[in-house]
Amino acid sequence: MSASPTWSLHTQLQKDTIDIGDLPLSRVLVVKDAHYPWLMLVPRRADAIEIIDLDEVEQGQLMTEINRVGRALKEITKCDKLNIAALGNVVPQLHVHVIARRSSDAAWPRPVWGVMPPLAHDAGEVQAFMTELRRKIWLG
């Protein structure tokens, strides 16, 4: 699956994330907030806002990628719960949050959005996390 000709990552998502790489459908990103191990999948389909804007094959592939990334994130973080969500009330471009939650984290048991101001990552730690994630979702 190649990107739609006119697709590009929304500027707000560019600001808020670090690029990990591309799965067949989605770009995989880390959200710049060290409070939670927080990933995002952005299907490379121009003008997609809702999951229901994707066709059936793309929806199936999105679920496959959610599963692949969710499993990797859980294995790496040993988290208590995954939170998976497509909201998009602020940034319309379709994006799916995949967040590792711990019962000790800053927002638990609430959803993470809007609870805490983002916390900067330690550069070494986020690079090590991304390296491990890349290994698990492409080479695992």
Tokens of 136: 């698990």
Question: How far apart are CB 83 and a second copy at their closest, in Å?
Answer: 5
C-beta of residue 39 within 8 angstroms of C-beta of residue 30: yes
Nearer to a second copy, 5 or 114 (CB): 114
Question: How far apart are CB 76 and a second copy at their closest, in Å?
Answer: 13
**How close are the terminal C-alpha atoms of the chain, in Å?**
21
Rule CB under 8 A: which residues touch a second copy? Answer: 49-52, 56, 59-60, 62-64, 66-67, 70-71, 74, 81-90, 92, 101, 108-111, 113-114
Question: How far apart are CB 66 and a second copy at their closest, in Å?
Answer: 7
**Which residue, chain included where needed, has tokens 């490379």?**
44
Task: Give the angle subtended at the CA of 103 by the CAs of 97 and 105, to the nearest 5°.
Answer: 65
Cα Rg of the chain (Å, integer): 14
Question: How far apart are CB 105 and a second copy at their closest, in Å?
Answer: 10
Nearer to a second copy, 115 or 119 (CB): 115
Nearer to a second copy, 18 or 87 (CB): 87
How far CA 27 is from CA of 4, 32, 116, in Å, comes to 13, 15, 25
